[in-house]
Structure 1
Amino acid sequence: MHTDTISAGVVHDVPEDLRQVLVGDEAALALWEDITPIARNEWICWVEDAKKLETRHRRIARVRTDLKAGKRRPCCWPGCAHR
């Protein structure tokens, strides 16, 4: 199911670095497409909320591993303030 088009969140579009990771992993991409637009929005906002580049990279990696572990939203984060 490799595709360049993936579903976005309610408010946020998928940033390129996160899109590349998801498109490169069929299982993670399938799980991404299975969550709600609000849940995708939470993941995207959580990634974009990182202050440091290394934190952003770590969060992007966690999106993939957490989705594969059955998590549908970021853990221990207050949520997107943009919706």
Structure 2
Amino acid sequence: MDTKISGGLVHELPADLAKALVEQNVVSIWEELSAIGRNEFICWVESAKQDKTREKRILRATESLQEGKKRPCCWVGCIHRTDKKPSKWQQDVLIDKKPKALAK
């Protein structure tokens, strides 16, 4: 692969996701996304705790791109961005790891 594929705002493009973008012929769609959009997909893929989950997310990312989606479904956003403050939900659940309060 000689052509450089763009990464995200904060995250670099991982090799396995880059390979899938090429194999699924969605590089041009990827390049049309904003840096923030690419960043969201990359962070979502990289946040997987298991290899199996990561592989599923990579496949789902390429399918989402083919469907015209510009962000991963059901993703609250990258907590690694320094250009914006994390939302209260991100802070409570993703950063501080507090369990959600149960409804009474």
Length-normalised TM-score, structure 2: 0.74
Partner of 2:11: 12
Separation in 1 of the partners of 2:80 and 2:11? 9
Query: What is the identity, as a one-letter code, of the residue corresponding to 2:69?
Result: K
Give RMSD over aligned pairs: 1.2
Bigger radius of gyration, 1 or 2?
2
**CA-CA distance at 1:45 after TM superposition:** 0.1
**CA-CA distance at 1:3 after TM superposition:** 4.5
Partner of 1:82: 80
Unpaired stretches in structure 1, ≥5 consecutive residues: none
Higher relative contact order at CA 8 Å, sep ≥6: structure 1 or structure 2? 1
Separation in 1 of the partners of 2:46 and 2:73? 15
Higher helix share: 1
Separation in 2 of the partners of 1:19 and 1:56? 13
**CA-CA distance at 1:24 after TM superposition:** 2.0
Separation in 1 of the partners of 2:67 and 2:60? 10
Q: 1:22 aligned to 2:21?
A: yes
- After superposition, give the CA deviation of every residue in 1:9-56 in whole Å (9 maximum; x if it has no partner): 000000010011112232x11110000000000000000000111000
Separation in 1 of the partners of 2:63 and 2:24? 10
Separation in 2 of the partners of 1:16 and 1:65? 18
Query: What is the identity, as a one-letter code, of the residue corresponding to 1:34?
Result: E
Runs of at least 4 residues off by over 4 Å: none
Percent identity between matched residues is 49
